[in-house]
Every structure is written in C-alpha cells, then in structure tokens.
Amino acid sequence: MEIICLQENLKKGINIISNIIGKNLTLPILNNILLTVEKKRLRLISTDLEIAITHWTSGKVKKEGEITIPAKLLSEFINNLPNKKIEIKTKDNSLQIKCENFKSIIKGIDSKEFPIIPEIKGESIIKIKAPELRQAFSQVVNFTSLSDIRPEISGVLINFNSKEIKFVATDSFRLGEKILFLKGNRSRVKKSVIIPLRTVQELIRILGEQDKEEVVEILIEQNQILFKTLDSRLISRLIEGTYPNYEQLISKQFETNLILDKNEFLNTVKISSLFSSKINDLRLKVVPKKSLVEVFAQDAEIGENISELKGEIKGKEIEIIFNHKYLLDGLNNISSNKVILGLNGEASPGILKPVGDLSFIYVIMPIKL
C-alpha cells in the first residue's frame, strides 16, 4: 500500500479508533490498528473483540494494500508530527513513514492475522443528531452497575418506540431515565436493547469529536448494534437478558413534594456528606409547615453537621435517609435551577427531577434502618 494524507486527518482518525486498544498480552494483534488503502481512502480499524471501530480518511492513493501497526506507537508518532503531508508506504511487514524532516520505519504484523469485523445489514432503527445522542447517554451512563453479577444491568437500556427513545441505567440502588422525544424522524421499530457500559463510554467519547451537525444512524441485527456516521462506524455486541421492570418504581403521586434550589441542595449534600457515617449517612427531616428540610449527618469519631434548606414543601412530614453519593450523582445530572424531590414514606424510593423538563427522572432508594 502507498498513500499520502494530511497529518491532521490521520491524527483525527487514529484518535477516534484507538482508545479501545489496550495492552493485550495473549493476542498481540489486538494492540494493532488495521490500515487498509482501498479505492480513494485509507480505512483504519481497531477492535477488542467486543467493540470494533472503523474510520475512513481521505488521501492520495498510490497503491492499494493493507498492514497492521502497533496503535500506541503509531498514535504517539502521528500526534507529534507537524501538520504537513505524510507519505505512508508498506515494505515487507513494515510501514515507512515520511513527513518533512522525519523518516521512520515501524514494524507491523501481517493483516491476515487481524480478526474479521462483522458486517451489519440489519434494520435501520433511527437517525439522531450526534450531540443529542451523546447527551442522552452522558446523563445516565454513570448509574450503570459496575459489577458483572447481574449482566443485564451492566449496560444502558435503550428503548425505541414511535414517539420517543428512552435511555435507562441502574445499579439497583438508584436509576436514571432520560427520554429523547422524537419529532420528525420517528423510530421505525419498537425495540429494546442493552448496550455494554464500555460501548456507551466509547460512544460518548467519539461523538464528542464529531461535528455538531453530524447524524448518527443506528442499526440492529440479532445481538449486535451499529452506530454509523459519515466517516466512522462502531459495532458492538449487545447484552442478552431481560432488563428489570423499573417503571413501577417511578411514582407520579407523592405524599411529600419538595421544590428546592438545585445548587443549594447540591452544596448542602456535599458539606453534610463530610460528616456522614457509613451506617447513618444523610438524614433528611422534611417539615412542610416550616417550608424547611433539615439535613443531618453524624459520625461518632469526627463530629456532626446540621444544615437547613428552605423550599416549597407540600404534604406529609417525613424523615428519610439517603446515601449522599447517590444524591450527588442525581443532582449533578440535573441542569435546571429548581429541582423536584418526591417522597412516599421512608421506605419507598424518592424521585428527583428537574423543574420544567420532562426528559429526565432519577430514582433513589432510601436506606432503611
């Protein structure tokens, strides 16, 4: 193979695909990028056998062909080169690279050893703008279970129907649901899939590097999903299993209903959490007739803190205990100034949601004493 490309194009492509490549000692070929010169473009592929990422970049093709090259070295080398023309050429199992006053030879591995990347010809589910998809994933990804004990919650659920797409993640202690309401481009199919956490993290990263106007097409085939933009593709396996029937947790009616200033609430939780013990964590005492929440934290060894929060509070008086970290995670994913906290007694899940935005709901289980 032989091609001339611009450093910035090659750099962008390598950065998009190479993050999933780690240090694989048992299968060294997975540490490499597959470079293929075909027709008028250079194709770059990486895979960890669960996810495969492909990116095409333009260049002046002199000769078709392919080779695999260690990703880490190639990426550091190309990133540091000046933004000029780069001449790339294979010789035996090496890649010769010339750029301005630099001449390098990098040893590679024959492309025949590279795993076969599946083709997805499955049904096209929907097209979404890249920033919207990225934001939806970002808002729930951190609630995913990090353990593999229950594989079905170790990923993000995507539920497509004709009016909306729901993104859901939970670790069984708290749950986040983000809804993308569809206007023009309705989804063609009803479908639910569970996407592995790493795939979601990778998508968030890659979509952040795309143009604002970039559109992502999603295709599904059996146990695989494909995210497709103009120049890039990400294929991932799906998680098999049945996602928990979470909708019953999301009450619409509350015995106690609070509207609080988001930043005040966030700051109070932060400060109180410094004093929280593992057993007792944060105790919220809600007093509707005083329009007041007392947040109380105490640890026998370090001390205690009481903070008062004013708000618009209706319904029953209640004392309830929450884990401070889960409260913080929920509040940090809400961008409105005011937040609604809905409670139904000390043993039922609390609901946290932004005021004036129906697209996000956060469910948090209380700690029962």
| Residue 332 within binding range of a copy of itself, rule CB under 8 A | no
Nearer to a copy of itself, 152 or 294 (CB): 294
Build a one-symbol-per-residue string for 79-98: x at contacts with a copy of itself by CB under 8 A, - elsewhere: -xxx-----------x----
CB of 78 to a copy of itself, least distance (A): 10
Q: Report the length, in residues, of the chain.
A: 369
Q: Which of 6, 73, 117, 328 binds a copy of itself (CB under 8 A)?
A: 73
Terminal Cα-to-Cα distance of the chain (whole angstroms): 68
Report the alpha-carbon distance of residue 252 to residue 273 in Å, rounded.
Answer: 29
Choose, by CB under 8 A, the member of 9, 267, 291, 348 that binds a copy of itself: 267
Residue 229 interacting with a copy of itself (CB under 8 A): no
Please identify, using beta-carbon distances, which residue of 302 and 347 lies nearer to a copy of itself.
302
Segment contacting a copy of itself (CB under 8 A): 76-84, 116-124, 130-138, 335-343?
76-84
| CB-based contact 74:106 (threshold 8 Å) | yes
Name which of 333, 334, 337 is nearest 311 in CA terms.
337
Q: What x-and-dash track marks residues 107-146 binding a copy of itself by CB under 8 A? A: x---------------------------------------
- Is residue 369 part of the contact set for a copy of itself (CB under 8 A)? no
303/345 with CB nearer a copy of itself: 303
Q: Does 265 participate in binding a copy of itself (rule CB under 8 A)?
A: no
CA dihedral sign of residues 149, 150, 151, 156: negative
**Helix residue ranges per DSSP H, the chain:** 7-17, 71-80, 130-141, 197-207, 262-273, 324-332
Of positions 27, 105, 189, 347, contacts a copy of itself by CB under 8 A:
105
Number of neighbours of residue 294 by Cβ within 10 angstroms? 15
Comparing CA positions, the residue from 221, 245, 234 lying closest to residue 168 is 245
Please report whether residue 242 would count as binding a copy of itself according to CB under 8 A: no
Q: Encode 105-126: b = buried (16+ Cβ within 10 Å), e = exposed.
A: eeebbebeebeeeeebeeeebb
In the chain, the amino acid numbered 172 is S
| One-letter amino acid for residue 144 of the chain | T
Closer residue to a copy of itself, CB minimum distance, 70 or 342: 70
Contacts to a copy of itself from residues 287-326, by CB under 8 A: 301-309
Residues that bind a copy of itself (CB under 8 A): 70, 73, 76-77, 80-82, 94, 101-107, 267-268, 270-271, 274-275, 301-309
